[in-house]
Amino acid sequence: MAVVSADACDTAPVTTGPAGSSGFPPGSAEPSTAESSAAARPVAASADARRGLAVVTGASSGIGAASARALADAGFDVLLGARRADRLAAVAADIGPAARSRPLDVTDAASVQAFAAGVASCEVVVCNAGGALGLAPVAAADEAEAEEERWRWMWEANVAGVARTVRAFLPALVASGDGRIVVVTSVAGHQVYPGGGGYTAAKHAAAAVVQTLRLELLGQPVRIIEIAPGMVDTEFSLVRFDGDAGRAAAVYTGTVPLTADDVADAVTWAVTRPPHVTIARLDLFPRDQASARDVHRRP
Ligand SMILES: NC(=O)c1ccc[n+]([C@@H]2O[C@H](COP(=O)([O-])OP(=O)(O)OC[C@H]3O[C@@H](n4cnc5c(N)ncnc54)[C@H](OP(=O)(O)O)[C@@H]3O)[C@@H](O)[C@H]2O)c1
């Protein structure tokens, strides 16, 4: 496998970490402020009891960033990927020496290949990158052209992105002897709601990919885990509504949504079960939510 060149990584200094102490590939970017606030955070495992390498896509914000933090706290070295290099580097720096980052666009096959290059063995891959664009009805004829572009992006990021990531890391997952693939789908992967056609179609497809993988990889040392959250307060709605902060905030008004840390906790728990146990699917709702459509709101 090719070794990634330094200029393929983000702007932080490039080192390979202490020999034999981590699963980081050569050329992974090290956090630029390794002695940052990470020093104050609890470390759950000593350096010689590390759990191996966990890769997290979409780690520059929300569930991905929280999962990278939680996995590092649980004793994994973490390799973070996303498009916004500055945000990614800040998350990695906050985690500290256990974290490396590389730029990643899961809609671009070459980017996924470069992201995975040099990773000979890894224990966990969290396919989290993705999101929703818009809330237009399927038959919104006046928005047809823009809608098709949005649907294409949602399919590329949430479905093809997962498949590309799994393809790129599968040899390394198998090589670890106990690989775990986590796919962050959604309640939208199992239920539908008006205006959600493009997103629910993509997440349903992602859930189908998860089930297919479990059949295809039966007998391999790889566990396939689906995490399907309901409403989580992240940048998800800000992205969905093109940066409209008021519209995004209204999604969570009067209700208590999940936090990114709640989902990260579930991800970490699922990947730290004994090797013979697969958490096949974990549905996670706020108490204030009963379905994709039913949310309790206080006045
Ligand atoms: N929030 C919810 O209510 C909710 C509920 C169920 C499921 N989910 C799912 O949870 C996952 C994480 O979302 P979130 O709620 O944490 O929202 P978020 O804060 O917007 O995070 C999305 C992450 O995905 C990354 N990303 C988007 N497109 C990408 C691409 N093409 N290549 C690489 N990274 C990409 C973003 O980073 P860059 O922009 O820097 O690339 C960001 O780090 C998504 O798959 C989402 O569909 C969210």
104 lines ligand 1 (CB under 6 A): yes
Across 95-100, average pLDDT: 98
Annotated catalytic residues are 199
Buried (b) or exposed (e) across 39-60, using 16+ Cβ within 10 A?
eeeeeeeeeeebbbbbbbbbbb
Cβ atoms of 67 and 284 within 8 Å: the answer is no
Is the pLDDT reported for residue 9 higher than 80? no
Q: What is the pLDDT of residues 252-285, one digit of tens each?
A: 999 999 999 999 999 999 999 999 999 999 999 9
pLDDT number for residue 163: 98
pLDDT, averaged across the chain: 88
Domains of the chain: 6-284 (3.40.50.720)
In one-letter notation, the amino acid at residue 84 is: R
Across 10-14, average pLDDT: 27
289 lines ligand 1 (CB under 6 A): no
Least confident of 15-24, 67-76, 77-86, 277-286: 15-24
118 lines ligand 1 (CB under 6 A): no
Ligand 1 centre distance from Cα of residue 80 (Å): 13
**How far is Cα 153 from Cα 264, in angstroms, rounded to an integer?**
25
Give the closest residue (by CA) to ligand 1 atom 7.
186
Give residue 220's pLDDT band: very low, low, confident or very high (50, 70, 90).
Answer: very high
Cβ atoms of 187 and 292 within 8 Å: the answer is yes
CA angle 79-85-91, nearest 5°? 55
How does strand 76-82 pair with strand 222-229? unpaired
**How far is Cα 253 from Cα 241, in angstroms, rounded to an integer?**
16
Q: What is the pLDDT of residues 20-54, one digit of tens each?
A: 345 666 556 655 433 333 444 433 444 445 899 99
**How far is Cα 226 from Cα 212, in angstroms, rounded to an integer?**
12
Across 79-97, average pLDDT: 98
Helix axes 197-216, 144-155, angle to 10 degrees: 20
Q: What is the pLDDT of residues 54-70, one digit of tens each?
A: 999 999 999 999 999 99
Beta strand segments in the chain, E: 52-57, 76-82, 99-103, 124-127, 179-184, 222-229, 232-233, 258-259, 281-284
| C-alpha closest to that of 267 among 82, 74, 48, 44 | 74
Farthest-apart Cα atoms in the chain, separation? 60
Tokens standing for 133?
Answer: 């664009």
Q: How far is CA 109 from the centre of its chain?
A: 17
Q: What backbone phi and psi angles, to 5 degrees, belong to 284?
A: -130, 110
Q: What is the DSSP letter of 156?
A: I
Which residue(s) pair with 29 in the sheet? 14, 101
200 lines ligand 1 (CB under 6 A): no
pLDDT number for residue 27: 56
Ligand 1 centre distance from Cα of residue 128 (Å): 6
Cβ atoms of 29 and 13 within 8 Å: the answer is yes
pLDDT number for residue 29: 61
Ligand 1 centre distance from Cα of residue 129 (Å): 5
pLDDT number for residue 144: 85
